Each structure stands twice: as C-alpha cells, then as structure tokens.
C-alpha cells in the first residue's frame, strides 16, 4: 500500500516545486521527491493534494513567462536562487490566498442565503472543559 503524505511531506514537496529550476514535469517532481521523503509518490498522489497541485500549476504558469536566470558570480547566483525561490513562494501564496478569499465569499453567500446571521457566524467557539470526565 502506498504511503500517505503527511503535512510535513506536502510542505517539502511545495518548497521543492517553488525552488525548481528547469523543465517542470510531474515525473521529474516524483523522482526528486523520492530522495526527500524516502518513497516515490505517484503523479496521482501528488495531484490529489490541492496545495501541491496548485503549487505545480502556479510554477508552470510562472515558467511560461520566460524569465531566465542570468550568469553571475557564485555568491550572486546563490542570492539570485534564493530571491527566485522567495518570489515563486510569494506568487504561490498570493494565488492560494485568492482561492481562499473566493471560498470565503462563497461561504458568506451561502450563509446569507440560508438565513444565518453574521452574529451567529461570529459567535465564539464553546469552551472545552478538559477537567470533565465526559
């Protein structure tokens, strides 16, 4: 049976995709991830996780813009790689934030449609009594 990906594994995979250099394919990501999480996931396994799929799609879209790294001294090349990785991560996080905002608006609309008031939605969560035997 295939190993299930943990939240830590998913973060490792997303960081790998954010820092990817060269042609990005699902097969290449699966091969590279194998060394990081001690098992080779399938493309379908990675595709089933929304965050991984979104990071992959966002990185492919960013690669289509055609930005190519320039020739630099090693210290500047390392800085350029870090900047590129951070820019990729920033792009991915903005896209993820936009998807979450769309989801919130959809929830807001559905709550209003069903007559749920804002006060009911903003009500605090019930306090958990950890000393209770129940």
Mean of the per-residue pLDDT values of the chain: 87
Predicted pLDDT of residue 69 = 56
Question: Do residues 1 and 22 touch, judged by C-beta distance below 8 A?
Answer: no
The residue written with tokens 């996931």 in the block is 41
Report the distance separating Cα 130 and Cα 19, nearest Å.
43
The residue written with tokens 């396994």 in the block is 45
What confidence category does residue 68 fall into, taking pLDDT thresholds of 50, 70 and 90? Answer: low
Predicted pLDDT of residue 27 = 92
Report the distance separating Cα 50 and Cα 106, nearest Å.
18
Task: Taking residues 71-80, report their average pLDDT.
Answer: 78
Q: Please check the confidence at residue 61 and state whether its pLDDT lies above 80.
A: yes
Q: Please check the confidence at residue 1 and state whether its pLDDT lies above 60.
A: no
79-130 per-position pLDDT tens digit = 888 999 999 999 999 999 999 999 999 999 999 999 998 888 888 988 888 8
Predicted pLDDT of residue 89 = 92
Predicted pLDDT of residue 22 = 86
Q: Please check the confidence at residue 67 and state whether its pLDDT lies above 80.
A: no
Closest to 56 (Cα-Cα) out of 68, 41, 70: 41
What confidence category does residue 78 fall into, taking pLDDT thresholds of 50, 70 and 90? Answer: confident
Question: Do residues 69 and 80 touch, judged by C-beta distance below 8 A?
Answer: yes
Structure tokens at 92: 């991915």
The residue written with tokens 């966002």 in the block is 58
Closest to 80 (Cα-Cα) out of 70, 66, 94: 70
Task: Taking residues 10-38, report their average pLDDT.
Answer: 90
What is the pTM (predicted TM-score) of this model?
A: 0.57
Instruction: Please state whether 38 falls in left (phi above 0), alpha (psi between -120 and 50) or beta.
Output: left
CB neighbours (10 Å) of residue 24?
14
């Amino acid at each position: 049976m295939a190993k299930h990906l943990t939240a830590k594994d998913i973060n490792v995979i997303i960081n790998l995709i954010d820092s990817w250099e060269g042609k990005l394919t699902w097969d290449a990501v699966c091969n590279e991830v194998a060394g990081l999480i001690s098992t080779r996931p399938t493309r379908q396994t990675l595709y089933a996780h929304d965050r991984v799929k979104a990071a992959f799609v966002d990185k492919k879209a960013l690669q289509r813009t055609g930005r190519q790294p320039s020739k630099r001294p090693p210290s500047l090349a390392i800085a350029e790689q870090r900047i590129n990785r951070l820019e990729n991560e920033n792009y991915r996080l903005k896209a993820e934030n936009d998807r979450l905002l769309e989801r919130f608006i959809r929830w807001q609309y559905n709550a209003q449609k069903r007559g749920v008031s804002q006060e009911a939605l903003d009500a605090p969560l019930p306090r958990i009594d950890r000393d209770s035997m129940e």
